[in-house]
Amino acid sequence: MNRSIKIYGFIIIQFTIGFLYNHYADAQSSYFNSRHALIGARAASLADALVAEAYDANTMYSNPAALVHLTKSSLVLNHNQERYYDGMTENVGLPVRTGFSEAMVFGLSVSHIGYLKKVSTTNTRPFQIGYDFAYAREIMPTFSVGARIGVDYGQAGSTNLLGASASLGICYSPSPEITYGAAFNGIGTGIHYNISGGTTAIRLDNLPHSLQAGVAMRYPAIPNQNIVTVAISNEKIFGQTGIQYTGGVEIYPIQFLAIRGGYTVKNLEKSGRIGFGVRSGYGNFDISISPSRSTDQSIFLTGSFVLWKTETRY
């Protein structure tokens, strides 16, 4: 036990050192409104390394196959705000268990740059609405497959575009202590926003294909009572050099309060995130922030409200 505590302590120290050396890059004039804004605060805190972890409805954006391991059905509300473009995304997700070995999730998202105050970034306010559906099924004990499909409608000025995307996943859970997962993302098209000279232009582009694989380890192996969770994943984005390495640690120093940290390394680029969470029998509240001026500086807020508990293999 003491050895495990030392190992987890060493990992936390390494993440802290990484935060202090976060890489900074200037904001770009264009971006995709992608699934990253929808992953939820917990996954963002752990650097989006949760390809092998089931937590709530947001799991559909990381690995849809893991949805069969959800221990409760919760209505999930997300808010994401990006710093450089004042971009905001609101999302709601609802999981539905149709049987012991299968699950579905419905998701609805709205992206914009704010309407409560004057925004100087652009005179043309882009707007996007998206609908997602995910389905997962356990095809044999401990092994499941899943898929997500999504449709996005984007508007900027007089231009309207419609994009469609999909992702596929597999999940292997030999025991409640450890889970393996992999997801293939970037199938289909995405809406590309280009901000220049106070105006916004949009176009439809093919999404970059990516393959992400990872593992999640937790202790103790009791649903909703884990004290320590460690998640590690590697992601290959096809057409780009190098592999992206991500990892995150979640610790509950007290029963209801979580402290999280995640770190991403790709070639010479490094970025970290920190987050906190509160859990109860009625729902969870999570927050994730960038600790320094990183290239993806943003804030994630997630609230979930338990509707009913579900039966799982463990």
Provide the CATH number for the domain around residue 8: 2.40.160.60
| Residue 55 falls inside a structural domain | yes
| Residue 6 falls inside a structural domain | yes
Residue 202: which domain range?
A: 2-309
| Residue 84 falls inside a structural domain | yes
The string of pLDDT tens digits covering residues 42-81 is: 999 999 999 998 888 889 999 999 999 888 888 999 998 8
pLDDT at 65: 95
Closest CA to 70 of 49, 50, 45, 41: 50
170-174, 257-261, 296-300 — which is least confidently predicted? Answer: 296-300
pLDDT at 198: 65
pLDDT at 199: 73
DSSP secondary structure letter of residue 255: T
pLDDT at 214: 97
Amino acid at 136: A
In contact, 255 and 278? CB cutoff 8 Å: no
pLDDT at 31: 55
Closest CA to 73 of 314, 307, 304, 312: 307
pLDDT at 197: 64
| Residue 314 falls inside a structural domain | no
Specify the number of domains making up the chain: 1
Q: Are strands 210-219 and 30-32 parallel, antiparallel or unpaired?
A: unpaired
Q: Are strands 72-82 and 298-309 parallel, antiparallel or unpaired?
A: antiparallel
| Residue 19 falls inside a structural domain | yes
